[in-house]
Each structure stands twice: as structure tokens, then as C-alpha cells.
């Protein structure tokens, strides 16, 4: 199954949850926020959110800035 | 002690986290600056560089994070970023930046006012970055901004306080804290802002790009401290030429 | 909420000031409350020419060489308050008059004919006789003829001030009389005016309602004028912080020993009044400073250009006094009896422009 992640196609297994995706990408779910089709996903919902074909994800976190 | 919204700060120097050569230098420089409030930006995760996580380098208990909305070109984009920042950082504090002109990165007053009003209603503690416009500062205060952050000179220019006259008016009029932001290129600029009565300053570039950022951070900390102490002690006034040139007035009519 | 420190506290602050403090305040662009205390101090009394020069310089820079002119119209001498110092006090045996709408309009027309564009409507505090309905109607009838119509009547609610603003009233004068709570209680014997705090918060309600201007003031002769000056400064600064859209003015009605029962509790000399006025000008370069016809011609002429920005002229302080100059029942005795033309001539002779019109209410947005 293919989803869009930060503008790039990403292959994920069927039934993959958001939480599993973040771990697969070596990201700390605690410091990353996810917009799924422009909606912010609550952090508590990461484990229960099953990804679907073609979904557009934006993974965002803090970076250096003034 | 500086109080913004319901939070107090001992340090009146706010740190930025951008433009540092490495996260190690940033960490040491921020420690040397004594800053308690630091700004961060929001970006897409670089999927090729997943371990590059600023939150892993900075302790949430040591620093109060002030996410900014850098990159936003209008109120709508700023509000989207604000909601993301709230979700990432578990903080409702926000440095609101709306900069439609990529050349100067000067803030848009109309969109900033609009976004501030909506974000305050939505429960954010908003610190808007603004050009040094006294009326705008008052309008922002009226819609609930927790502080205002007028610029000294355009961001990254290191020109110091070119907006001195307007910043003075803002400081004189504002009920909320005034944080001079942007353009402070040398510790003397920061000291000058504090002597004028600014409640705090935000410094990023001048520290991050210094030859020795850690020592420069310390220099800024000392300058902010010195400027504040001078302000609180009541500065001696410079002589105004005008006083000497005015003619004597007659009061012979008094009985 | 605004609160004014007790007078002993203010007096202490003023007494602590040195000549160096005065020098510093004279050199500063923003002397602040500390600077104001210095400028009001006994030390500064010996430096009055320096204060005058600085005040004149700031006034010229901020306002130019102009004096605005206005005239009061007394609408009613009915009053439900008993105030020890006032001619309209409820227990004074005077013949009370309330102008009818037509009489009030006639008074205003007379002044309009004499060239006045700013009218101050004055009345004793008796809402049942003269309330918001009366003022609203009078303003609506006359607003087209005047650049500014301001009122000096009983304190009202924000909602009432909003109605009056909509009807064409542009500003409100509401004097605390004295900021000294102890003296305030002594001289306000009965009536609604006894509530110090309600009166103190009134200017804020005026500003809240959107009025273009609010005037504050202290009646000099009740308590220590230096402390009144510092309290006025605190009040001004508080209003500026909280209501930045509203222009502010200060008046300096001065009680002088005269016939009648009430003698001033303290004497305020011309020298004192001048120091107070200069100090407030240096403290707040933007504030309008009013000098009424209570003061004599000689004094008012001398003060042109030194700090005041607004003079009344040709005033009668009895209801109906313009149509019927022989009427008795004045609130106070006028000290400067010249006509508007004569006052204008004096202002011009001192190199200033007498301005009868400063703002056009036709520009004001309609609701």
C-alpha cells in the first residue's frame, strides 16, 4: 500500500498504524505531530489510526528557529 | 522578574535556536546565555535525517518553548502552524510571525492583527512579532496579545535599534511586556534596548553566527543585565541643546 | 482599577525631592511620576522660570502657537448634592432655574453668533430635572452648529455616555474636586457625589463609551495642591495606559477667598497654580490644559504661550445668563469679564492664534 508522506510516496504494509509508521521511520512519536489529510491527529490516537491507501501525511516537528 | 501571561522569567534574554553550526554549540550557547525562553520553528521532518531532533537536545524542564510561525505568509497559514505547534509542543504559547515579503521578512500588520485576535480567542498565548508601530502594538494589546515584539531592524541585519523612536513610544504606552526582537547585532544593541525600558530582548543570529557563540551568548547576557540595571537605577539625562537655546520667559505678571 | 495613594504618602514623595531631581525632570523627555513629584516640590518653586521655559517649549512644539476657545452654557442650577464649596449646593438659598429646551438652544445660539464653536454644557447634579434624555435632545438639535459640545454634569453610566456620544456630545469633563479622600468626605455632605470611588472611575467610563475627550481636574483650595497635582498625574497616566484613543484635558478651578460662606481650606496662589500647570505640562506633553474665566485677565494674558491650551471667554455662570445678563444665581464669580473678541485680541497680541474650531463633528462616523 502506498501513502504520501511529506510529499514523497512511501510503501507501508496493509493495516499499518500511524504509530508503527513513525517507529519504522525512526521517529519519536512524542516529538512529532502528524497532519493526516490536513487534519492534526491527536497523539493519543497514533496507535489506533490505521493508514489507508493514498493518504497524505505531513510529519512535523520543531527545528531551530528565531 | 518578568511576567508574561501567567509565567515569570528571571532572564530577560530570550534565545533563538536557528542558524547554529551544530546542536552541540547551540546547547552550550543557550546554557551560557541563561535564557529561559527559547524560540523554535516548525518544519517537516527530514525523513533522511530522522535523528536530527531538537527536542532531544533541549530539556523541556530547563527551557520554556516558544514556537514561532515562521514561514507563514498570511493569517490562515499562521493559524495552521499555530495549531501544529500546539500539538507538537503541548504549549499554547506562540510567537506569531507573518512575513509575506521573502526579501525583507518584514511582518504583515494586517494579517498579524487578524491572526492574533483569532488565536487569542482559541486560547493561545500570543506574542506577535511586529514592525515598531505603536498603534499596531496598542491594537494587538486590545485584542489580547500577551506581549508585543517590535523589531529593532529587519531580521538578520544586525543593525541594532533603527526604530528607536517608535520603540520608545511602544514602551511608554504598552500595558503588556515589550520584547525587542530582530536586528540586535551586538551586546551594546541589547543593552540599549534594555536601557530604554524594554522588558526583554530576543537574540538569535548575533549569537549563532559569532566566532565563538558560547562567549557571545555570555556577552549578551551581561549586556541585558547591565541595561536592565541601568534602566531600573534611573539613567542620568543627556543635556538637551534646546534648553539652552530657549529664551527666558517673563513671569512678572504673577501676583 | 485606578487607585490613588493617600495624601500623606504623596506628600512624602514630593517632600523627598531635591534640586537635582528637579534638574533631571527638566532635562528629561519622559520625567515620569517621579519627575512630576520633583516638579511639584517646594524646591521647584524657586525654579519657576525654568519650569515656565520648559513648559512653554513643550507646548509650542506639541500644540503650536494657538489657544482654543470655548464658552460654558449653564443649563440648570438644581442640585441634589450638598457640597460645602459650591454655589449650587442643595441647601443654598438661591433661586433655581432649569432652562427649557428652547431657552438652552437660545443660549447656544447667542454664543454661536458671537463666534464660539466649542460649547461646554454645565448643570448641577439633578438627574430628575436634567438627565440623559435632555442632553441627548439638546445635542441632536444643536450638533450641526458646533465643532465640539462637551458636558460637565452628573456622572453617568457607560451606556448613557454612549447615547450622548451618538447624539453629538464629543467630550465629558468630570472633576474629582479633591483626590484627598479625607477632605472629600468632609466637603461632600450629602448626595450621590459622596461616593469618591464612583466619581473616580467616571473618566474611565467616559473613555470606554468612545468619547473623543475626557477632562479631569481638582478644585484648588480644598487640599494640598502639590498632592492634587501628583494625583492628577497618576490619573492621567492611568487613563493613557488604559484608554489610548481618548484625548485628555486637565482643568484648574481655583477657589479664592471671597464673599460667601465657604472659605478655601488652603490657599493656592497664582505662583502655585502656575507651578502646578507647568509641572503637568512637562509631565504630559499631550494633555490639554484649561484656564477658565475664574482667573483674572492679567493672569490669563500672562500665561498665554506658557502651557495652557484652552481658554473660556465671555462666560456667564448662571442659567440663562447670556440672554439675560442681569440674572443672578451664578455658580461662581467670574474673574475675567472680557468678551470673546477682547480675549482673541489679547491672544493675537501675544503672537498666538485664537482657535474657535478644532474638529468637525460632521467627520465623525454615524452609527
Please tell me the predicted confidence (pLDDT) of residue C367. 46
Q: Does C24 touch chain B (CB under 8 A)?
A: yes
Nearest CA of chain B to the CA of C155: how many Å? Answer: 26
Of A7, A8, A60, Cβ closest to residue B43: A60
Fold of A2-60: Ubiquitin-like (UB roll) (3.10.20)
Question: Residue B76 belongs to a domain with what CATH number?
Answer: 3.20.20.70
Q: Is B168 part of any domain?
A: yes
Asked if residue B251 is part of any domain, the answer here is no
Rounded to whole angstroms, what are the CA distances from B123 to B82, B84, B175?
Answer: 11, 14, 20
Averaged pLDDT, B109-130: 97
Q: Note the pLDDT tens digit of each residue in B153-197.
A: 988 788 899 999 999 999 999 999 999 998 899 999 999 999 999
Question: Which one of B26, B47, B55 has the shortest CB-CB distance to A62?
Answer: B55
- DSSP 8-state class, residue B158: -
Q: How far apart are CA C359 and CA C150, in angstroms?
A: 13
pLDDT, position C131: 94
**Chain B residues touching chain A at CB-CB below 8 Å:** 16-20, 26, 39-45, 47, 50-51, 53-56, 65, 67-68, 70, 83-85, 87-89, 155, 182, 202, 204-205
**Is B254 a domain residue?**
no
| Chain centre to alpha carbon of residue C45 | 23
pLDDT at C357: 60
Q: Mean of the pLDDT values across residues B19-27?
A: 87
Q: Which of residues 221-250 of B touch C (CB under 8 A)?
A: 234, 236-240, 242-243, 246-250
Domain containing B199: what range? 2-245
Does residue B24 or residue B236 have the better pLDDT? B24
More confident residue, B239 or C235: C235
Do the Cβ atoms of B237 and C24 come within 8 Å?
yes
Distances (CA, A) of C79 to B199, C211, C254, C302, C331: 49, 25, 21, 35, 11
Whether residues B45 and A60 touch (CB distance < 8 A) is answered with: yes
- Range scoring the smallest mean pLDDT among A43-52, B140-149, C67-76: A43-52
**% of chain B with per-residue pLDDT over 70:** 95
Residue A15: C-alpha distances to residues A50, B218, C360 (Å): 6, 52, 73
Q: What is the mean pLDDT of residues B145-155?
A: 94
How high is the pLDDT of residue B97? 96
pTM: 0.81
Q: Please list the ranges in chain C whose pLDDT falls under 70.
A: 257-260, 357-367
In chain B, how long is the greatest CA-to-CA distance? 87
Q: Which architecture does CATH list for C7-363?
A: Alpha-Beta Barrel (3.20)
Which residue(s) pair with B68 in the sheet?
Answer: B95
Q: Which of C24, C30, C303 comes nearest B172 by C-beta?
A: C30
Asked if residue B233 is part of any domain, the answer here is yes
Active-site annotation of B, residues: 95
Number of domains into which chain B is organized: 1
H helix intervals, C243-284 = 270-283
- The full DSSP string for C35-84 is HHHHHHSHHHHTTHHHHHHHHHHHHHHHH-SEEEEEEEEEEE---S-EET
Q: Is residue B250 assigned to a domain?
A: no
**Distance, CA of C283 to CA of C277 (rounded, Å):** 10
B241 — pLDDT class (breaks 50, 70, 90): very low
Residue B239 confidence (pLDDT) above 70: no
Contact between A42 and B87 using a beta-carbon 8 Å cutoff: yes
Residue among B246, B251, B198 nearest C27 (CA): B246
B143 close to C (CB below 8 A): no
CA distance C170 to chain B (A): 22
* Cβ–Cβ gap C57/B173 under 8 Å: no
Is residue B216 a part of any domain in this protein? yes
Q: How confident is the model at residue B82 (pLDDT cuts 50, 70, 90)?
A: very high
Task: Please report, for chain A, the start and end positions of each structural domain, with discontinuous segments joined by +.
Answer: 2-60
CB contact under 8 A, B89 and A60: no
Residue B238 has pLDDT above 70, yes or no: no
pLDDT of residue B236: 60
Contact C290, C46 (CB under 8 A): no
Between CA B22 and CA B10 the distance in angstroms is 27
**CA atoms within 13 A of residue C310's CA, in its CB half-sphere:** 23
The answer to whether the CB atoms of B251 and C301 lie below 8 A apart is no
In this predicted structure, which of B99-108, B123-132, B197-206, C258-267 has the lowest mean pLDDT? C258-267
* C-beta separation of C340 from C314 below 8 A: yes
Strand partners, B125: B93
Structure confidence by residue, pLDDT tens digits, B95-107: 999 999 888 889 9
Amino acid at each position: 500500500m502506498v501513502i504520501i508522506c511529506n510529499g514523497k510516496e512511501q510503501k507501508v504494509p496493509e493495516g499499518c498504524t500511524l504509530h508503527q509508521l513513525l517507529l519504522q521511520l525512526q521517529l519519536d512519536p512524542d516529538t512529532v505531530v502528524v497532519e493526516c489529510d490536513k487534519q492534526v491527529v491527536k497523539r493519543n490516537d497514533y496507535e489506533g489510526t490505521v493508514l489507508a491507501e493514498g493518504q497524505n501525511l505531513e510529519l512535523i516537528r520543531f527545528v531551530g528557529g528565531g | 522578574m518578568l511576567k508574561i501571561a501567567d509565567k515569570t522569567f528571571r532572564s530577560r534574554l530570550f534565545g533563538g535556536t536557528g542558524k547554529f553550526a551544530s546542536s552541540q554549540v547551540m546547547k552550550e550557547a543557550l546554557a551560557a546565555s541563561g535564557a529561559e525562553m527559547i524560540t523554535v520553528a516548525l518544519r517537516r521532518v527530514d525523513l533522511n535525517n530522522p535523528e536530527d531532533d531538537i527536542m532531544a537536545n533541549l530539556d523541556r524542564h530547563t527551557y520554556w518553548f516558544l514556537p514561532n510561525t515562521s514561514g507563514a505568509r498570511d493569517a490562515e497559514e499562521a493559524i495552521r502552524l499555530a495549531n501544529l505547534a500546539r500539538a507538537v509542543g503541548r504549549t499554547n504559547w506562540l510567537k506569531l510571525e507573518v512575513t509575506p515579503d521573502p526579501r525583507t521578512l518584514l511582518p504583515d500588520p494586517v494579517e498579524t492583527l487578524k491572526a492574533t485576535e483569532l488565536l487569542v480567542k482559541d486560547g493561545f498565548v500570543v506574542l506577535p512579532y511586529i514592525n515598531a508601530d505603536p498603534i499596531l502594538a496598542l491594537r494587538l494589546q486590545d485584542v489580547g496579545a500577551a506581549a508585543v515584539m517590535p523589531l529593532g531592524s529587519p531580521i538578520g541585519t544586525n543593525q541594532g535599534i533603527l526604530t528607536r523612536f517608535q520603540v520608545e513610544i511602544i514602551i511608554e504606552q504598552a500595558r503588556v511586556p515589550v520584547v525587542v526582537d530582530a536586528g540586535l547585532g551586538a551586546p551594546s544593541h541589547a543593552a540599549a534596548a534594555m536601557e530604554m525600558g524594554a522588558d526583554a530582548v530576543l537574540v538569535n543570529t548575533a549569537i549563532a553566527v559569532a566566532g565563538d557563540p558560547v562567549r557571545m551568548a555570555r556577552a549578551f547576557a551581561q549586556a541585558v543585565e547591565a541595561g536592565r540595571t541601568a534602566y531600573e537605577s534611573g539613567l542620568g539625562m543627556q543635556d538637551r541643546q534646546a534648553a539652552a537655546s530657549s529664551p527666558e520667559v517673563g513671569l512678572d505678571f504673577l501676583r | 482599577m485606578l487607585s490613588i495613594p493617600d495624601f500623606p504618602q504623596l506628600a512624602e514623595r514630593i517632600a523627598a525631592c531635591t534640586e537635582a531631581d528637579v534638574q533631571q525632570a527638566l532635562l528629561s523627555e519622559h520625567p515620569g511620576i517621579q519627575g512630576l513629584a520633583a516638579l511639584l516640590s517646594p524646591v521647584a518653586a524657586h525654579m519657576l522660570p525654568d519650569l515656565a521655559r520648559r513648559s512653554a517649549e513643550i507646548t509650542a512644539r506639541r500644540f503650536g502657537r494657538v489657544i482654543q476657545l470655548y464658552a460654558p452654557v449653564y443649563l440648570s442650577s438644581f442640585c441634589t448634592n450638598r457640597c460645602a464649596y459650591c454655589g449650587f449646593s442643595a441647601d443654598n438659598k438661591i433661586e433655581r432655574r432649569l432652562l427649557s429646551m428652547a431657552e438652552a438652544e437660545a443660549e447656544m445660539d447667542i454664543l454661536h453668533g458671537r463666534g464660539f464653536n466649542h460649547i461646554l454644557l454645565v448643570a448641577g447634579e439633578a438627574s430628575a430635572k436634567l438627565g440623559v434624555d435632555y442632553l441627548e435632545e439638546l445635542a441632536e438639535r444643536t450638533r450641526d452648529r458646533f465643532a465640539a459640545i462637551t458636558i460637565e454634569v452628573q456622572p453617568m453610566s457607560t451606556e448613557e455616555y454612549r447615547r450622548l456620544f451618538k447624539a453629538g456630545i464629543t467630550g465629558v469633563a468630570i472633576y474629582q474636586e479633591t483626590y484627598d479622600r479625607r477632605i472629600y468626605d468632609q466637603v461632600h455632605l450629602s448626595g450621590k457625589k459622596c461616593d469618591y470611588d464612583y466619581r473616580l472611575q467616571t473618566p474611565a467610563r467616559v473613555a470606554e463609551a468612545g468619547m473623543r475627550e475626557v477632562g479631569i481636574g481638582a478644585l484648588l483650595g480644598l487640599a494640598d495642591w502639590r498632592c492634587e497635582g501628583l494625583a492628577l498625574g497618576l490619573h492621567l497616566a492611568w487613563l493613557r495606559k488604559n484608554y489610548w484613543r481618548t484625548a485628555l484635558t486637565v482643568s484648574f478651578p481655583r477657589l479664592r477667598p471671597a464673599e460667601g460662606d465657604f472659605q478655601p481650606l488652603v490657599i493656592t496662589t497664582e505662583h502655585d497654580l502656575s507651578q502646578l500647570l507647568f509641572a503637568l505640562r512637562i509631565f504630559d506633553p499631550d494633555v490639554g490644559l484649561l484656564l477658565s474665566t475664574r482667573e483674572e485677565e492679567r493672569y490669563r494674558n500672562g500665561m498665554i504661550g506658557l502651557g495652557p491650551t484652552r481658554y473660556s471667554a465671555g462666560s456667564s455662570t448662571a442659567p440663562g445668563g447670556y440672554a439675560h445678563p442681569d440674572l443672578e444665581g451664578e455658580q461662581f464669580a467670574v474673574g475675567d469679564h472680557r468678551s470673546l473678541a477682547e480675549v482673541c485680541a489679547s491672544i493675537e497680541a501675544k503672537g498666538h492664534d485664537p482657535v474657535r474650531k478644532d474638529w468637525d463633528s460632521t467627520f465623525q462616523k454615524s452609527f
